[in-house]
Amino acid sequence: MTPPRDSGAPEDGEGQRTPVLADVAERAGVSQQTVSRVVNGSPAVARRTRERVELAIAELGYRPNAAARALVTRRSRRIGVVAASSALHGPAMTLLGVQEAAREAGYSVAVVMVRDLKPASVDEALRELRDQAVDGAVAIVPEDASQAAVAAAEATFPCVLAPGLDGAGVADAYWGEVAAARAVAAHLLGLGHETVHHLAGPADWAESRSRATGWRTALVEAGRRVPPPVRGDWTAPSGYLGGRRLLAAGATAIFAGNDHMAIGAVRAVVDHGLSVPGDVSVVGFDDVPEAAYLNPPLTTVHQDFAEIGRRCVHLLLGRITNRVVDLGGLNPALVVRASTAPPGLHVHPVRPEPGRAGAGEVPPQVRTTSSA
């Protein structure tokens, strides 16, 4: 009995041979070289021929060999991500957006988490990604020193920062944080507050500087006093301590650099024997999922962090393929809820009448899109 001819292709779990490039060529009636061109996106294939090859690929369930394709294209169709081990809402959602966009573009993702944002840790993570032959990397590392390390790595392979360090020379998914912070301050001044006190984030974060810049610009443009900002570390406890300091300075309107610090500031107001927004208005930034369910619901700036992650991928793929990608800026929206009111206006919570509103109903919101 003559043994069956070895096709050279592996078999799946049911004993059926996995289709290879030669099978696609035979089904489509073209050469293996033509199939390779179609798989690798070469424009040197006639439209009808390409359609015939793509139909054969679909019928056979052929999946290109990534290693073989990488030898031809010198690309692995794999991107890397360096991210900090953080529970903060923004970085987590940005990472999710990166993964979704990469998958949609046909790229796999290798994620390297760093315990801290020291340059040495980021350098090590980038070296690990280069060893995995990724085509480029997205860095979700918000501190200046770590972003500088990414900027230095740009000389060896494409990198994109989310967000970007001022003047780093690395592509970044820019969004209008300065304009959004200006809108926050303008909203509070428009309610009648004499000035706005700022509870800022860490000084070595680009987002913190952008939000402080927008706040300060709005006060200067309005001819108002610019109080010294109090700095926190993005956490609710730091917001609580900072809020107490701002209340001692006579604040009637507090703009916190993120929602978690705003939550701490609200608690500080209440513990001070005052009310929000009757005595003190409080605004956050980011619009975390819990913001609409606080008491009172928090006025804040909505950010689409997943979209930022997707933009990072589009920018990175542009760099990998030597294409210029101009996505423009994002326009975060000011979401006005019940934590802001004119100064001295003692507002009591509105309780839903029985049968009129469900227990889980979110209070009405007014969205005002900030402009640059």
In eight-state DSSP terms, residue 357 is S
- pLDDT value at residue 330: 74
β-pairing verdict for 108-114 and 78-84: parallel
CA dist., res. 117 & res. 144, Å (int): 9
Q: 95-111 burial, b for 16+ CB within 10 Å, e for fewer?
A: bebbbebbeeeebebbb
Q: Is the predicted pLDDT of residue 361 greater than 50, yes or no?
A: no
Please state the pTM of the whole predicted model.
0.71
Interval 203-229 mean pLDDT:
94
- pLDDT value at residue 100: 93
Q: For 74-105, what is each residue's pLDDT tens digit?
A: 567 899 999 986 667 888 898 999 999 999 88
CA dist., res. 318 & res. 346, Å (int): 53
Helices marked H in the chain? 21-28, 32-39, 47-60, 66-73, 89-104, 119-131, 144-153, 177-190, 206-221, 236-248, 259-271, 305-320
Q: For 14-44, what is each residue's pLDDT tens digit?
A: 456 788 888 889 999 999 888 877 876 666 7
Q: For 241-269, what is each residue's pLDDT tens digit?
A: 999 999 999 999 999 999 999 999 999 99
CA dist., res. 189 & res. 23, Å (int): 70
All structural domains of the chain, each given as residue ranges with its CATH number in brackets, are 21-72 (1.10.260.40), 75-172+306-320 (3.40.50.2300), 177-299+337-350+361-369 (3.40.50.2300)
In terms of phi and psi (left: phi > 0; alpha: psi -120 to 50; beta: otherwise), the region of 370 is: beta
- pLDDT value at residue 12: 47
Q: State which amino acid sits at residue 249.
A: A
